[in-house]
Chains A and B, each alone.
Chain A
Amino acid sequence: MSTGVLDMELELEAKHPPAAMPRYRDMPLTDRAVLEAPNMVSVEDLNLFYGSKQALHGINLEVRKNTVMALIGPSGCGKSTLLRCINRMNDLIDNVKIDGRIRVGESDIYAPDVDVIGLRMRMGMVFQKSNPFPKSIYENVAYGLRVQGVKNRAVLDEAVERSLISAGLWDEVKDRLNESGLGLSGGQQQRLCIARALAVKPEVLLMDEPCSALDPLATSRIEELIFELKRDFTIVIVTHNMQQAARVSDFTAFFWMGKLIEVGLTEKLFTNPRERMTEDYISGRFG
């Protein structure tokens, strides 16, 4: 007896997709190249004390080159403190004691012979509240280079234009470079601060809640910018906005009470976190 009809049906069900179709592992949102990128910032066994109070406990964290690392966690969890360790801004606070190591590229930034000013030149920093200097748009961007002693007008012009283009602000301000930076809107001021940070060609861009004072449109421009900037820079961003962390970062690190609870690929951490505490925090159940 022939049962060809049924056999054919079963065979059809078992057919594999044609080889030319994209395979499901080829389509994740995160570019797999980030997994092979070399480390740009390595934090090793970092402890930080404000007087007798320990604010960071044995942090180990690696930030890969040309990726975005988001630091998340409830207020007071140590994420901004860690960010400020990476450009040694905590040195400016009395009673701070730090042990452990942070390496940026090959150099140990807490080694005794480190030139702290030179180190900070390698780190761009963007704060929660935009803080342009009471100077012209041009001079705001040129400021870092002038501090470095650059006087050549052509070099300055090129750097100002390049930085403003990178910060997505050039078209809006190119005809009024001599007007005060304080006359710009909040979102434009924040992009001006990003341009100022980029002008000195930093290796790492540190952003401490850069969008928390901005409206959704200005926020979206900064987020698009972050996406563009990671081609040339390594970015560490502190944010309270879970959606923002999910949108802009390749990796996310969750902190709680000065401890690093979990770090991983952002797509993994926000869909299937390893730790219960992470799950509860990102789904708004504590913190």
Chain B
Amino acid sequence: MGRHFDNELRDLKFSLLAMAGLVEEMVELVRQAFSERSDAKADRVIALDQNVDELELSLDQACIDLLALRAPFASDLRLLASTLKIVPELERIGDHCTNIARRVKFISSYPHILTASQIEELGEATHSMVKRAVDAFVNGDAELAKAVIAEDDRVDELYVQVSKDMLQIMLQDPTAIERASHLIILVKNWERIADQATNIAEEVLFILEGVNVKHPYLQKRDS
């Protein structure tokens, strides 16, 4: 395996980056769609999802082909194995963005309820995690990947706080229940996107350092 395989790996990385870039764009767009109550941006997010799905299929095929035909070892092997895991994470982020976009379209005709700024903060924090996870992959930056993983706790806290506030609103004002229910699912989608950014950062660390950092409580128990 010489330069020919290097070119194939470069093409694979390029496609993965195209997919990651597209997904990051969806995350940013849906965040704006919520803040600006923009149906147009929400529609754009929904339309982009198909491109992500298409890239998932072609990347899956490329990984299987390269594993079968080039039988890679070491960092090449780690790149392919992790690409096979990063691709579905990106695809799910695309799905979550689409879900958020659909709910944005529903709630945009109603006035903001109390927690809008908190939800925006949650969206910004999550978008930052996705962007930085992709940057860590592009730049081979292990420290940045670790920073992304550390950020997830803050998103979890925000999610729990927003959800509790939302329950409070529903208890106080039954007419807000429908909107608040959409918002609860919407923030859950943001929280899942942050989890998936974490998973991507974990894969980036595996590619770069060959260490599996998932489930630290198990690693601690067995060491």
Whether the Cβ atoms of B222 and A270 lie closer than 8 Å is no
Given the contacts A3-B167, A10-B160, A270 and B218 also touching, CB distance less than 8 Å: no
Q: Answer whether residue B76 sits at the interface, using C-beta atoms and an 8 A cutoff.
A: yes
Whether the Cβ atoms of B164 and A3 lie closer than 8 Å is yes
Which residues on A sit within 8 Å (CB–CB) of B210? 271-272
CA distance A243 to B217 in the complex (A): 35
CA distance A5 to B184 in the complex (A): 12
Which residues on A sit within 8 Å (CB–CB) of B76? 283
Q: How many residues of B contact A (CB 8 A)?
A: 21
Q: 7 new A-B pairs (CB below 8 Å) besides A282-B74, A283-B1, A283-B75?
A: A6-B160, A10-B160, A271-B73, A271-B78, A272-B74, A283-B73, A285-B1
Q: Answer whether residue B71 sits at the interface, using C-beta atoms and an 8 A cutoff.
A: yes
Q: How many residues of A contact B (CB 8 A)?
A: 22
Q: Answer whether residue B2 sits at the interface, using C-beta atoms and an 8 A cutoff.
A: yes
Q: Is the interface of B mostly helix, strand, loop or mixed?
A: helix
Q: Answer whether residue A154 sits at the interface, using C-beta atoms and an 8 A cutoff.
A: no
Chain B proximity of A283: nearest CB distance (Å): 5
| B interface footprint on A1-43 (CB within 8 Å = 1, 0 otherwise) | 1010110001000001000000111000000000000000000
| B interface footprint on A265-283 (CB within 8 Å = 1, 0 otherwise) | 0000011110000110011
CA distance A1 to B166 in the complex (A): 12
Chain B proximity of A65: nearest CB distance (Å): 27
Chain A proximity of B200: nearest CB distance (Å): 19
- A residues with CB within 8 A of B: 1, 3, 5-6, 10, 16, 23-25, 242-243, 246, 270-273, 278-279, 282-285
Q: Answer whether residue B117 sits at the interface, using C-beta atoms and an 8 A cutoff.
A: no
| 5 tightest Cβ-Cβ pairs between the two chains A and B | A272-B210, A284-B1, A282-B73, A279-B74, A270-B73
Whether the Cβ atoms of B168 and A1 lie closer than 8 Å is yes
Which residues on A sit within 8 Å (CB–CB) of B168? 1
User: What are 9 A-to-B residue pairs whose CB atoms are below 8 Å?
Assistant: A3-B163, A3-B167, A5-B167, A6-B163, A270-B77, A272-B78, A279-B75, A284-B1, A285-B2
Whether the Cβ atoms of B164 and A243 lie closer than 8 Å is no
Chain A proximity of B26: nearest CB distance (Å): 25
CA distance A282 to B1 in the complex (A): 9
Residue of A5, A16, A271, A279 contacting most chain B CB atoms (<10 Å): A271
Beta-carbon contacts under 8 Å, B56-80 to A: 71-78
